[in-house]
Structure formats: structure tokens, C-alpha cells
């Protein structure tokens, strides 16, 4: 589903599921949070995660050499 100008609408159902169901927030507390505060609460509960860097071309080439595709 797309909103105006081809953008996806904000995933409120998912955010509410985390706030109410996972974090156990009361509605008043949930709706008073900013998105930055909600993000901090989730990170505090589950630990900060960092995005993994994608493998480099060299890494991919090494993997292809080590694990070649089998006969088709």
C-alpha cells in the first residue's frame, strides 16, 4: 500500500505492537513518546544493534572461489 506521492504510509500497526505488546506501555505513555524516545526504549530493552556492512567485491570473489557452484 502506498500513501501520497508513492511513499509508504508510516507503519503505525507495527509500532503500536512493539509499544503496547512488547514494551508493555500504557496508551498514555506510548502516545506521549517521540519516535526517538520509542527507539531509545526499544534499544534499551533489546540492546543496540548496528547495521552490518555488506561484503566487498573482494570478499564475494573469495567466497565464490572457496565455495564454487556445483555442476548443474
Q: What is the DSSP letter of 5?
A: G
Q: Would you say residue 4 lies in a domain? A: no
The pLDDT, as a whole number, for residue 15 is 96
Tell me if 18 is assigned to some domain: yes
pTM of the predicted protein model: 0.57
Output the pLDDT for position 17: 96
Distance separating alpha carbons of residues 72 and 65, to the nearest angstrom: 17
Q: Which residues in 30-59 are b (16+ Cβ under 10 Å) and which e?
A: beebeeeebeebbeeeeeeeeeeeeeeeee
Q: How confident is the model at residue 47 (pLDDT cuts 50, 70, 90)?
A: confident
pLDDT in tens, 4-37: 666 889 999 999 999 999 999 999 999 999 999 9
In the predicted model, what is the mean pLDDT of residues 58-71? 86
C-beta of residue 22 within 8 angstroms of C-beta of residue 28: no
Residue 3 has pLDDT above 60, yes or no: no
Q: Is residue 25 part of a domain?
A: yes
Number of structural domains the chain divides into: 1
Amino acid at each position: 500500500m502506498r500513501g501520497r506521492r508513492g511513499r509508504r504510509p508510516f507503519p503505525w500497526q507495527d509500532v503500536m505492537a512493539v509499544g503496547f505488546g512488547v514494551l508493555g506501555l500504557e496508551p498514555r505513555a506510548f502516545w506521549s513518546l517521540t519516535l526517538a524516545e520509542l527507539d531509545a526504549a526499544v534499544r534499551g530493552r533489546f540492546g543496540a544493534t548496528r547495521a552490518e556492512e555488506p561484503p566487498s567485491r573482494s570478499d564475494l570473489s573469495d567466497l565464490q572461489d572457496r565455495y564454487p557452484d556445483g555442476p548443474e
